[in-house]
Structure 1
Amino acid sequence: MRGKRSKQYRKLMHQYGMTFGFREPYQVLVDAQMVQDAARFKMDLWPALERTLHGKVKPMITQCSMRHLYASKETPPAIVDKTKTYERRRCNHHTLEQPLSTLECLSSVVDPKGSRTNKHRYVVACQDNEVRSYLRSIPGVPLIYVHRSVMIMEPMAHATEHVRDKDEKSKFRAGLKGARGAITDTLKRKRDDEEEQSGSGSEQEEGRARSGAQSQEEASKKKKRKGPKGPNPLSVKKAKKRPAQENNKGVGKKDSGEGGTSNPAATINEDGTPAAQKRKRKRSHKSGKGADSNGPESEAHDAPSASAEGAGAAEED
């Protein structure tokens, strides 16, 4: 089967399924002539039907068609035995002495009440042109026949297309009505929202002002201003220490005694400035006079007496 024809058949069966509810496995009614022609063209009927309909198939044959096969001498017994494996569709004509024609039998099975409906969703595979022309008047009946060893599926008949178009228009109108209902619902919601907004107009204005200020702040934060970059902190020279701090550190070290304690009050004034330190007085000792074994302490005690004697001698003169 060529690709283009196969694609058309797939679309047809999809349309039948969407409009008339066809589903797998498809029930295919086969007549006696179809079985004989398939055997003559050396065609395996069951797989060929599955290829044409693009799905699983359940072949069915009526009792009248089986009686036609038994009566014909052209049908080999192997084909008859293979046809017996198909599902038997009871047409309730077995009580008659002679089987009914294919047209009468199939029409009674497809449309038993004459209501022009394919109630059981049969697919008819028939070689009789008269039967196919009659079944075209019944909507929703896929028709199959064999022509020169090629199985062909007929396009949709006029009655079937009419029902399909009517169904599509009804679905389209239902969709429009649903869309209109949705639009009216949205309009009602908008009106309710507007009424609520009119009642709380001042609050909304304040909220909008706040939101506007927040958005401006966020925008200013996001926008980074470009400017001159500072120097590298690793290449900058370190700042020198203040002199007051150095003096304080030096005084603390000198004034600290043997115990390591310092007297900050003696070295720093009340205003925080360092106080002037008094230099120690060093006395020069005379060689050989007034020298005592006590050392510097005795010299310190004898110093005022010597100065007094010198003053008295000056008065006498």
Structure 2
Amino acid sequence: MRQKRAKTYRKLMSLYCMSFGFREPYQVLVDSEICRIATESRIDLSKQLSTVLQGVTKPMITQCCIHELYLQGKSQQSAVDLAKAFERRKCNHREAIPGDDCLASVVGDSNRHRYVVATQSQPLRAKLRLIPGVPIIHINRSVMILEPPSEETLRVKQQKEQEALGPAAAELVKLPQQPSDPPRKKKGPKGPNPLSMKKKVTRPVSVRVPRKSDSTAPPSASDLSIGEKRKREENDEQLTATRKRKRRRKHGGGPTSSVVTTA
């Protein structure tokens, strides 16, 4: 058995043990049809029942179910031998009745003897689902399956839990229901860690200081008006004339220069 299925069956049997008082060894009522399928499929019925119920089992069969196997003839002799190996459960029927009716009468309306029923009959399984606290087993393609608890079983389980809590459960029911928390928004992708990032270096804004040469530089000719251009040209001519005079005086080539003669 797979691990997931075994875990599910263990939880189911713990439910029946806690809520309905089941205990080991589990008493398993077997019908004639499941004995026949077990012999045809070569299934070790006792071993499979212990594996599914996750505990020690005690297979049981009624006289009415064995009588059904006798009616099928000598072809079912192996199934009869398997049924005889199980414990005989007294059904108190003087005359043999159908196996489904016999098992339903043995279980009763409340399953007070805490039987687990292993049957292949669909009508009997539908009838047993209406009775709280009845685990049902059947074989599907050579695999033994424990059915999930019925709605009636879950209802009785919940009722017993509320009775166990007592008046505290009734007070909890009377309390107004608190509004549920709003759904949380899904977080998007996270950014980088700010502590691991380098801090930005803020450089001061450089202010250009004008040089003295820039302040004393004469404006360009395009920035001057017409009158200013003329004044500038005249000043330039006077400046060049004075420079020429100074050069002549320096070299002594002017008309006012005197010739000195020595004796």
TM bracket (short chain)? 0.5 to 0.7
Q: Quote the offset at 1:75 in angstroms.
A: 4.5
1:69, 1:75 within 8 Å by CA — same for their partners in 2?
A: no
The residue number in structure 1 matching 2:97 is 100
Q: Distance in 1 between matches of 2:136 and 2:160?
A: 21
The residue number in structure 1 matching 2:71 is 71
Query: Aligned letter for 1:56?
Result: V
The residue number in structure 1 matching 2:80 is 80
Q: Structure 2: give runs of 5+ residues left out of the alignment.
A: 171-263
Task: Confirm or deny that 1:172 pairs with 2:165.
Answer: yes
Q: Quote the offset at 1:71 in angstroms.
A: 1.3
Q: Quote the offset at 1:109 in angstroms.
A: 0.5
- Counting matched residue pairs gives 170
The residue number in structure 1 matching 2:253 is none
Q: Match of 1:29, SS?
A: strand
Query: Aligned letter for 1:147?
Result: N
Q: Evaluate the alpha carbon distance shift between residue 44 and residue 74 of structure 1 in structure 2; reply closer, same or farther with a 3 A threshold.
A: farther
The residue number in structure 1 matching 2:10 is 10
Structure ranking higher on relative contact order (CA contacts 8 Å, 6+ apart): 2
Q: Quote the offset at 1:168 in angstroms.
A: 1.5
Task: Confirm or deny that 1:132 pairs with 2:147.
Answer: no
Q: Match of 2:131, SS?
A: coil
Q: Which structure has more helix as a fraction of its residues?
A: 1
Q: Match of 2:88, SS?
A: strand
Q: Quote the offset at 1:174 in angstroms.
A: 6.0
Q: Distance in 2 between matches of 1:46 and 1:11?
A: 21
Q: Match of 1:166, SS?
A: helix
Q: Which runs of 4+ in 1 moved over 4 A?
A: 174-177
Query: Aligned letter for 1:148?
Result: R
The residue number in structure 1 matching 2:143 is 150
The residue number in structure 1 matching 2:249 is none
1:36, 1:75 within 8 Å by CA — same for their partners in 2?
A: no
Return the TM-score normalized by structure 2: 0.62
Q: Structure 1: give runs of 5+ residues left out of the alignment.
A: 178-317
Return the TM-score normalized by structure 1: 0.51
The residue number in structure 2 matching 1:39 is 39
The residue number in structure 1 matching 2:23 is 23
Query: Aligned letter for 1:110?
Result: V
Q: Distance in 1 between matches of 2:169 and 2:151?
A: 27
- After superposition, the CA RMSD in angstroms is 1.6
The residue number in structure 1 matching 2:110 is 117
2:68, 2:98 within 8 Å by CA — same for their partners in 1?
A: no
